[in-house]
Amino acid sequence: MILFLSKYPQTEEDFRDGLYQRVIHIDSLFEGKKKVYLFTSPYRFFKKTYIAETDQNRVIIRCNLILHIGLILNLYRKSKTIYIHSIHNLLYQFMFFKIFNRKYVLDLHGLVPEEFLLEGDRKRSIIFGALEKYIYNNLKFVIGVTQRLVNHYQKKYPFANTEYIVYPILPNNLEDISDEEIKMATNADIVNFIYSGNLQAWQNIDFMIDNIKLISNNQQYFFQILTGEVEEMKNKFLDKNIDMSNIDIRGVRADELAAYYKKAHYGFVLRNDIPINNVACPTKLVEYMNYGIVPIVLSDEIGDFKSMGYESLSVNNISENILSQKSLRNIEIIKELYKESSKIKTLIKNLY
């Protein structure tokens, strides 16, 4: 049995989230194996929930750390491999690391202590920094979403006896874009800009809207905003007195995204040039590039993509004379990522 310390996605919003796309993807690598997902809290889940998905050989458990301690200990006792999706999921379970000698695998989705510090939450930054240090020498494998993330942790813990694997976050629902679809988009009379995401601070939404306002009077430009926070996003545009005649804001299902991406030429990914973003592998960026979209960036230092030679456009260079185009180079980079990841899959499967 493999024990995952993580929630398993169940809502439509979960399935759109990059973190849970990673959970789903890793789950698929252990097809046929018994998988248990454990999510605990000392303050919640006084009534245990137990969902058995027999067709997937998957069990999803939410329970109280104190009331159901016997169940938790039994799961650790029966598990050969314990896979931790982000250090967030260790907050209430770190003590078991010193009790059970198991094959512990940590999936690094980002720099958790640094993320809390950036948000101004110094207390949690200290807590998760100490937690990370406490468990690190017990980790048999660490999986990072980029080489730059792995490099960061190798420098941070130079004496840790752990093996590193680089495995990007690659969505399961991406489609191929055909030569005909590329040709149609390239020959389009309207230049299509897209943003797919919500209003989190790191997305720099106000800055994006300010830049859209600078060029929104060009009726040869169309701005497609896809978000789960439709009304809040609309209000931000209206607050800035932007003409909405060539701007469409809507929410769509995950399986509808491809149709919009295939038409788009440029996509906003306005991340600041800071370590958290420098080591990241944003799902949105992978999605954009898969469909030949040229990312509009505040900084091009996002994950490993610059070293791979991806094509991007600085937000400082957007103007009223941008042409419709698709990036064949970006499409090829994502194809290569998927090809390389197929080799890494075997390593991860063997962790069982």
Cβ(191)–Cβ(323) below 8 Å: yes
DSSP-assigned states of every residue in 108-122: E-S-HHHHHHHTT-H
pLDDT tens-digit map of 286-317:
999 999 999 999 999 999 999 999 999 999 99
The pLDDT assigned to 55 comes to 85
Whether 96 contacts 55, CB under 8 Å: no
127 has a pLDDT exceeding 70: yes
Mean pLDDT along residues 231-256: 94
Q: List, for residues 255-292, the tens digit of each pLDDT value.
A: 899 999 999 999 999 999 999 999 999 989 999 999 99
Which sign does the torsion angle of CA 2, 21, 65, 136 carry? positive
3-state secondary structure (DSSP) of residue 275: helix
- 352 has a pLDDT exceeding 80: yes
Which range, of 126-130, 149-153, 199-203, averages the lowest pLDDT? 199-203
Contact by Cβ (8 Å): 271, 277: yes
* Paired residues of 223 in beta bridges: 193, 247
Q: Quick one: tokens of 318?
A: 């957007």
Cα 327 from Cα 243, distance rounded (Å): 29
Residue 71's identity, in one-letter code, is L
Specify the pLDDT at position 343.
83
Query: What is the reported pLDDT for 54?
Result: 87
Give yes or no for residue 17 having a pLDDT over 90: no
Distances, alpha carbon 146 to alpha carbons 142, 168, 286, in Å: 12, 6, 12
At 16 the pLDDT is 67
Q: Hey, is 229 helix, strand or coil?
A: coil
Q: Are 330 and 297 in contact (CB under 8 A)?
A: no
Would you say 8 and 38 are in contact if contact means Cβ atoms under 8 Å apart?
A: no
Q: Provide CB contacts within 8 A for 225, sequence distance 6+.
A: 194, 195, 233, 247, 248, 249, 250
Q: Which of 346, 26, 327 is nearest to 169 (CA)?
A: 26
Strands (E), the chain: 2-5, 35-41, 49-53, 58-64, 81-85, 103-108, 139-144, 163-166, 191-196, 221-226, 247-250, 266-269, 294-297, 313-314
For the stretch 335-345, pLDDT in tens is 999 988 888 98
- d(CA 253, CA 275) in angstroms, rounded, equals 31
Query: Smallest Cα–Cα separation from 254: which of 292, 277, 283?
Result: 283
234 band by pLDDT with thresholds 50, 70 and 90: very high
- pLDDT of 321 reads 85
Question: For the chain, what percent of residues have pLDDT higher than 90?
Answer: 81
- Of 73-82, 142-151, 167-176, the range with the lowest mean pLDDT is 167-176
3-state class (DSSP) for residue 62: strand
Alpha carbon of 237 to those of 133, 194, 318: distances in Å?
43, 15, 19
| This prediction's pTM | 0.87
User: pLDDT tier at 18 (50, 70, 90 boundaries)?
Assistant: low
